[in-house]
Amino acid sequence: MRILHTMIRVGDLERSIAFYTEVLGMKLLRRQDYPDGRFTLAFVGFGPESEHAALELTHNWDTPAYDLGNGFGHVAVEVADARAACDEIRRRGGVVTREAGPMKHGTTVIAFVQDPDGYKIELIQRGT
Catalytic residue positions, numbered: 122
Closest C-alpha among 67, 26, 68 to residue 49 = 26
**Span between the terminal Cα atoms of the chain, in Å:** 27
- Concatenating the DSSP letter of every residue in 36-56 gives TTTEEEEEEESS-TTTS-EEE
Determine the residue type at 52.
H
The partner residues of 98 in beta bridges, in order of sequence, read 112
Q: How far apart are CA 124 and CA 44, in angstroms?
A: 19
28 within 8 A of 17, measured Cβ to Cβ: yes
